[in-house]
Structure 1
Amino acid sequence: MPDLRGWIRADFGLDVTELTQVHHGADAAAEVWRADQYAVKWSSGGTTASYEVTAYLAEVGVRGVPAPLRTQAGDLWSERAGKRLSLTPWIDGARAAATGLTQAQWTAYGVLLAEVHAQEVPARLQQLLPPLNSANARMPALTRQLDHRLTTQPPADAVEAELAKTWLAHRELITALAEPRTPPPGRPVICHADPHLGNVLVTPDQLHLIDWDDAVLAPIEQDLLFLLGGMGTLGPTTPADEAAFFTGYGPADLDATRLTYYRAARALEDAALWAEQALTGPDREASLGHFQAVLSPNGLAVLAVG
């Protein structure tokens, strides 16, 4: 275990007593702990833009976006053992992926995401924020590697055998997702790029959107795809849920071409990364189930190419 207490003391000037690792999400590049009243993240994933974005949104008064604490040197993170160490206030709330949202909470979530999208993008963030999250760039190569392994090599065990069977059954769909596409133009705004309910915490008076590692500068379709179907219980599950969200968000002039592009990019990312994790771990069987869900009749992949 890394010397988190020592690092936090040296970098942030805080002495913490309680230190408990938290296991949520699928980001193998990040480790998260609760340290007293702080959430501690030690990560090599995403980009440094995520800290700048959350600091900016909190600074301009967007409630529900936790701001990173500054180090004693005034930075938003520190470098430790080749990874970035950051602290945010601990939010003692329920994860919306587990509890769901009421109609009123769906509306409140629409208000929150609309407020994020409405913010003027300062010059420094225009320079820092990428147009696509960092995972997208490696998806075509990863998909080819997975395809070669799963279609030409004998499976090592039962999990890989089931993975290969599912891959072969949906190979045409996966290939369609991997076709080269050019991002369609649109007005870029600050996007979270992963705003499903697994990244929403619920407290009695506020919804909180966390884990901004994939933040990008992109059209609204990059975020709104998560609220328009194909995400299972991580998004709205009924027309009433969706309507409640857009009651809060307001009118959205969605472009079908942009929506198809961002859906396909996300579906390929989900399919490839879950397939990779089903091969390498951790949680291989659960990862296989997530992979199959992406490709299911109600999953995002079918919606993206349909």
Structure 2
Amino acid sequence: MVEISIFLLKNRHYDIEGAKVIPQQGGWSALAFKAGTAHQDYFLKMYEKSRASTPKWTALIDNYVPVLLWLLRHSGLKGKIPVPLLTKSGHYQCEDENGIYLMYEYIHGAAIGGNALTTEQVCQLADIMGELHRYGEDIPLATDALKEDFQVPFARSLKEFWQQEHEAVPGDVRERINPYREQILALVDSVEKRAERLKNSNIRLALCHTDIHPWNMMQSGQQLVLIDWEGLKLAPVEADMMFLVDEPFFESFIRIYRKRHPDYAVDADALQFYQGRRKLEDIWEFLEQLVYDGQDAPAREETLAHLNEELRDLSNSIATYVK
């Protein structure tokens, strides 16, 4: 069904004929397919409409893709970021009854994944981030929808999770989450207090990727490419630094980064806000999948394992998140 839908989609919305569609390893937010022709390969992302998290990942497509196109043309990031192809009608996305789709030129290479970054990759990542963070609210595009508002939209859902009817939450999920109730609520309180302080601060906002990890990095030839830009925001740069400050390569990274931003120093309050909010977001998304997405047994077991990992990490590092 999905393969047929994608085939029809290609011919209806893109000038791609005779493509062979092959499933690829997808990411957290979307399914992935390679659409190969005799002349060129394409990469198709499919956000399934059946998933509860899809609106979060797709709501801002028409806001963040124009920024990627602008960066492609006006920054030093060409060849270092992927940008969706326009449809025949000039749109950034298209959809059918199954999903919402973005089409890209195919990047030939491999995800960094579980491998450690090499010295050269660290240098290139610092170069990418240093260039990206040069641009802020002064770019000549409408960016209000991308501007950080320091909201914690899932905080209320987490607070009310234990008030739901017993039948609404599967027993094994409730059993896993119950021992961490006080820690989760303490973190919600801490993050919300930091959010209020940041809302009233004058901290600089810059374009940020907001999801920097090795599975969102690809090595293509000699170039590191940063992929999956659904979270593009105008935010304090700690929205990106939170993924890097604890890495063994951070000292090397920041030395190169400061060639473009010589006065940069990590803002501790912003860093702890983003670290805490991300932890809560990950926990909520796993809960959301387990309660609302109707996963099959293998997928459900995998999600439970991820939830367990996040909860254990919270328990081991709660003092870091709650200060």
Is 1:248 aligned to residue 256 of structure 2? yes
1:69 is matched with 85
CA distance in 1, matches of 2:314, 2:225: 29
- Give the secondary-structure state (helix, strand or coil) at the position aligned to 2:265: coil
Q: CA deviation at 1:209?
A: 1.0
Is 1:57 aligned to residue 65 of structure 2? no
CA distance in 2, matches of 1:305, 1:160: 23
Q: Judge conservation of contact 1:274–1:291 (CA < 8 Å) in 2.
A: no
Q: CA deviation at 1:34?
A: 1.8
Q: Judge conservation of contact 1:132–1:216 (CA < 8 Å) in 2.
A: no
Q: CA deviation at 1:303?
A: 2.7
- Which of 68, 80, 97 does residue 113 from structure 2 map onto? 97
2:163 is matched with 148
Superposed CA offset, 1:236-279 (max 9, x none): 2x2xx111221332242222222222222222212222333354
CA distance in 2, matches of 1:189, 1:293: 33
Map 1:24-43 onto structure 2 (within 5 A).
24-27=26-29, 30-36=30-36, 37-43=41-47
Q: Sort the Cα spacing of 1:86 and 1:286 in 2 relative to 1 into closer, same or farther, 3 A.
A: same
Q: Judge conservation of contact 1:108–1:248 (CA < 8 Å) in 2.
A: no
Q: CA deviation at 1:92?
A: 2.6
- Give the secondary-structure state (helix, strand or coil) at the position aligned to 1:86: strand
Name which of structure 1's ranges 48-57 and 281-290 shifts more when overlaid on structure 2: 281-290
1:224 is matched with 241
- Give the secondary-structure state (helix, strand or coil) at the position aligned to 1:19: strand
CA distance in 2, matches of 1:77, 1:21: 19
The alignment of Structure 1 onto Structure 2 pairs a total of residues equal to: 289
Structure 2 unaligned spans of 5+: 48-53
TM-score scaled by structure 2? 0.78
- Give the secondary-structure state (helix, strand or coil) at the position aligned to 2:46: strand
- The amino acid across from 2:228 in the alignment is D
Q: Sort the Cα spacing of 1:128 and 1:15 in 2 relative to 1 into closer, same or farther, 3 A.
A: farther
Q: CA deviation at 1:128?
A: 4.2
Q: CA deviation at 1:293?
A: 4.5
Q: Judge conservation of contact 2:183–2:315 (CA < 8 Å) in 1.
A: no
Q: Sort the Cα spacing of 1:109 and 1:295 in 2 relative to 1 into closer, same or farther, 3 A.
A: same
- The amino acid across from 1:98 in the alignment is G
- Give the secondary-structure state (helix, strand or coil) at the position aligned to 1:170: helix
Give the aligned CA root-mean-square deviation in angstroms: 2.8
Superposed CA offset, 1:66-105 (max 9, x none): 1211111222222433853211122232222322211221
TM-score scaled by structure 1? 0.82
Name which of structure 1's ranges 272-281 and 89-98 shifts more when overlaid on structure 2: 272-281
Q: Judge conservation of contact 2:93–2:101 (CA < 8 Å) in 1.
A: yes
- The amino acid across from 2:253 in the alignment is F
Q: Judge conservation of contact 1:160–1:279 (CA < 8 Å) in 2.
A: no
- The amino acid across from 1:87 in the alignment is M
4+ runs deviating over 6 angstroms: 152-155
Structure 1 unaligned spans of 5+: 230-235
Q: Judge conservation of contact 1:132–1:217 (CA < 8 Å) in 2.
A: no
Name which of structure 1's ranges 187-196 and 277-286 shifts more when overlaid on structure 2: 277-286
Q: CA deviation at 1:287?
A: 2.4
Q: Judge conservation of contact 1:116–1:191 (CA < 8 Å) in 2.
A: yes
Q: Judge conservation of contact 1:200–1:209 (CA < 8 Å) in 2.
A: yes
Map 1:151-190 onto structure 2 (within 5 A).
156-158=170-172, 160-165=174-179, 167-168=180-181, 170-171=183-184, 173-177=186-190, 179-180=192-193, 181-182=195-196, 183=199, 184-190=201-207
Q: Sort the Cα spacing of 1:143 and 1:249 in 2 relative to 1 into closer, same or farther, 3 A.
A: same
